[in-house]
Amino acid sequence: MMKQITKLMALGLAGATMLTAFSASAETVRFWYHFDNADNPMTALVEKFQAENPGITVEAENVPWNSYYDQLYTAIAAGNGPDAAMVKLNAQPRLLEMGALEPIDDQISNWSGREDVQANLYDLTKAADGKQYYLPVQYVVLYLYYRTDYFQEAGLQPPKTCDEFRNAAKALTKDTNGDGQPDVYGFGFRGGKGGHDHWATFTLSREGVGFGKGELTSEAGVAGTQFVVDLFREDKVFPPSAPNDGFKEIIGGFQAGVTAMTIHHIGSSKGMVEALGDKVSAVPVPECGGGHWTAFGDESTAVFSAAKDKDAAWKWISFLSTAGNNAEFNKATGQLPVTKTDSASWNLHEKRFVDATVESLPFAKLLPNVSETADFTNTVWPISMQRALTGEITAAEMNAEIDKLYNK
């Protein structure tokens, strides 16, 4: 009898041990992220979270960016993916096709930090099916950089409309050397790869213009591209190198005083201030043809459908998007916190650039989250834009090529 009791007690202890082990395993959150910054705050954030949430262990793995999505897709397909991870919107369609994402609408609705997240971020990160799979964790928005000293000398105010922009660009294009060629240009246009956001500011802002069938080939759509072409060919307010200029050229030209305006985001602001001090500031991009359009750069977090403990994974990602924690997270990324609280006290960037970003967020947009967009950004737009700027094709022909890509 005693042996039976001893055996039952042993089995009970073994069962309890197994249950404890299962619980520990179930409440371990494997999290993937990517930081290039050597000052990585993740260890401190994990320690803080675990102190506030006893029983949940976070295993945070910094995966190199150049192989991040290859590793993520492979791990998910093999059934060995993380429970949660940093994710971009261009990865959302594929992750949804894989059945990898867990909807978090209910969690967001019941989350105490919901209202502190900047307006428009939930709409921007919502999936095509209307559900929320992503929780914003950082972002950037493109705006207009301008030389305050050049504007002051010319008696100009930062442009609020396309007409004002054109007038300012023409006034700021100058031949200060007296050799018959401008050495200062009104705007540094990115005509090479990656410059579609510049074009979009002047084209997609127009009423009824997008990537739907016939929208770019409409009168308004063609007028937007023609506006860009005319700035270069007729007004000559872009540097002659504009058809081939990329990121380094537009930023370098602006910092060197070759251009008076350009478009980029807050990630360039530190270098701008180091080069120019208070001679540089920023405002939202101008309104053109009835509206605004500026590019939204995203980074969010998501819980995966195969997560062993989805509640624990949600607690972790919502922790990262909560005021205070979100600020610490973004000190390492160089991008902006998503909370209103952290934005109000943010000092990693100059206030004027934070203000320009926040003021631009309500009209920030994304390119269509479809497979054709990769071809648009990598080949169709840069090639057709260069051909239009050099006069090889018309603005109407350029827009027709883009329309054909999206509306076969």
Q: How many CB atoms lie within 10 A of CB 216?
A: 27
Reported as type and span, the H/E element at residue 224 is helix 219-233
Residue 110 in tokens: 């019941």
Rounded CA-CA distance 252/188 in Å is: 10
Convert the pLDDT of each residue in 91-106 to its tens digit: 999 999 999 999 999 9
Q: What is the pLDDT of residue 285?
A: 98
The length of the chain in residues reads 408
Q: Is there a contact between 84 and 303 (Cβ–Cβ < 8 Å)?
A: yes
Q: What is the pLDDT of residue 10?
A: 39
Percent residues over pLDDT 90 in the chain? 86
Q: What is the pLDDT of residue 334?
A: 81
Percent residues over pLDDT 70 in the chain? 93
Q: What is the pLDDT of residue 38?
A: 63
Rounded CA-CA distance 304/300 in Å is: 13
Reported as type and span, the H/E element at residue 300 is strand 294-303
Rounded to the nearest integer, the mean pLDDT of the chain is 92
pTM here is: 0.86
- 81 or 22, higher pLDDT: 81
Q: What is the pLDDT of residue 176?
A: 79
Mean of pLDDT values over 386-392: 98
pLDDT score of 21 more than 90: no
The 3-state DSSP class for residue 29 equals strand
The CATH number of domain 143-295+366-406 is 3.40.190.10? yes
Helices (H) and strands (E) in the chain, counts: 19, 9
The CATH number that domain 2-139+297-362 falls under is: 3.40.190.10
Mean of pLDDT values over 2-10: 38
Convert the pLDDT of each residue in 51-93 to its tens digit: 999 999 999 999 998 899 999 999 999 999 999 999 999 899 9
The number of angstroms, rounded, from the C-alpha of 106 to the middle of its chain's C-alpha atoms is: 25
Give the pLDDT band of residue 16 (cuts 50, 70, 90): very low
The CATH 3.40.190.10 portion of the chain extends over 2-139+297-362, 143-295+366-406
Residue 194 in tokens: 């990656």
Give the pLDDT band of residue 290 (cuts 50, 70, 90): confident
Q: What is the pLDDT of residue 33?
A: 95
Mean of pLDDT values over 341-360: 95
Q: Is there a contact between 169 and 235 (Cβ–Cβ < 8 Å)?
A: yes
Burial 39-76 (b: 16+ CB within 10 A, else e): eebbeebbeebeeebeebebebeebeeeebbeebbebb
